[in-house]
Structure 1
């Protein structure tokens, strides 16, 4: 009986992924000790955090007008960089960690000229360099990416998405094009070698 119990504890510890979490006898108060579950970190999230960012799962929201916010389907792992002046920049973790240049990375590093607009300059700039930050076809349609269960439309970060699926903070992109760094300078944080960097 003791041998089968020891075997059960050994299997439990092996399945949990770490033997260090069980005490020397492999039991606590006569019962097997299981290791705490670990949250698997993706390679993209790991790259984000190595660069000084914080990996967060974000979901898309339609904000329309007023205080209404509607969660949409899907989710994306984003990398958020924050600075001491409370500015932030968000980029999709897979965009930052891509092995090859992405359109978002090229737009950030090369700072192409774009149109100015009396409306939202970040959306106009994004569209002017062939991305989209729109969540509909009317000027009042809005949206962005925010934490799960968000209720405040202002917390949804507007993001510019390109044809290759790469995503970057629309305001962060526009400010960088104008010479202002928000959150962190991403130029040397991309895994891929970006031409023009």
Structure 2
């Protein structure tokens, strides 16, 4: 490419970027130069259609019960808030899965709680149905999911994760087994037909 052609291409690129930047200044919803507008995922859309609020959440480890440490990774969760202020959190991909998941089966079928769990009864129940909500080797180790940058350990939601990767709020699952609905009744909100 000749130098004059390269200069012309460079000026064209510079101007096109200026047009996008100018459009972004006139329209704050317009994407910035070099970026495309992020569309909600299909899982987030399903969550919203079911009355939930999609949130990007990250895992946290609770070191002392009050001190939390953000871990790597993130996951799209769907949070349902009831009129009474209670909440239930479920993986957006768990809610929107085309096939049944272990979390959905546990929620719908409500396996009996054998009881006798030392410590957190929601984690004990989760373990009794072959899930896990543990983040360390000691019974006092804890953790869960919350929005990025969270500093309040009480806002970290212990989630029961199953072998297929599906995840649901451990307390929401435990309460539902006893007939108590937290946040919303998920029974008819799963995309998959649950046998």
Q: TM-score range by the shorter chain?
A: 0.7 to 0.9
**Offset, 1:113:** 1.1
Structure 1 equivalent of residue 89 of structure 2: 90
CA distance in 2, matches of 1:163, 1:61: 20
Q: Is the 8 A contact 1:60 1:144 kept in 2?
A: yes
Classify the secondary structure of the residue corresponding to 2:79.
strand
CA distance in 1, matches of 2:82, 2:67: 29
Structure 2 equivalent of residue 123 of structure 1: 123
Structure 2 equivalent of residue 142 of structure 1: 142
Structure 2 equivalent of residue 168 of structure 1: 168
Q: Is the 8 A contact 1:131 1:163 kept in 2?
A: yes
Which ranges of structure 2 fall in alignment gaps of 5 or more residues?
1-11, 32-36
Task: Please report the RMSD computed on the Cα atoms of aligned residues, expressed in angstroms.
Answer: 2.0
Q: Is the 8 A contact 2:65 2:142 kept in 1?
A: no
Question: What TM-score, normalized to structure 2?
Answer: 0.82
Question: What TM-score, normalized to structure 1?
Answer: 0.82
**TM alignment of 1:21-170, pairs within 5 A:** 33-34=23-24, 36-37=30-31, 38-116=37-115, 117-170=117-170
Structure 2 equivalent of residue 181 of structure 1: 181
The 3 A distance-change label for structure 1 pair 132 and 66 is closer
Classify the secondary structure of the residue corresponding to 1:33.
helix
Which ranges of structure 1 fall in alignment gaps of 5 or more residues?
1-7, 17-30
CA distance in 2, matches of 1:59, 1:48: 18
Single out whichever of 38-47 and 102-111 deviates more from structure 2: 38-47
**Offset, 1:139:** 1.2
**TM alignment of 1:6-17, pairs within 5 A:** none
**Offset, 1:68:** 1.1
Structure 2 equivalent of residue 190 of structure 1: 190
Q: Is the 8 A contact 2:118 2:124 kept in 1?
A: no
CA deviation map 1:137-183 (0-9, x unaligned) = 10110001011011111110000000000000000000000000000
Q: Is the 8 A contact 2:119 2:139 kept in 1?
A: no
CA distance in 2, matches of 1:184, 1:32: 44
Q: Is the 8 A contact 1:63 1:143 kept in 2?
A: yes
Structure 1 equivalent of residue 8 of structure 2: none
CA distance in 2, matches of 1:107, 1:146: 22
**Segments ≥4 residues shifted beyond 4 Å:** none
May I ask how many residue pairs the two structures share in their alignment?
Answer: 171
**Offset, 1:32:** 5.6
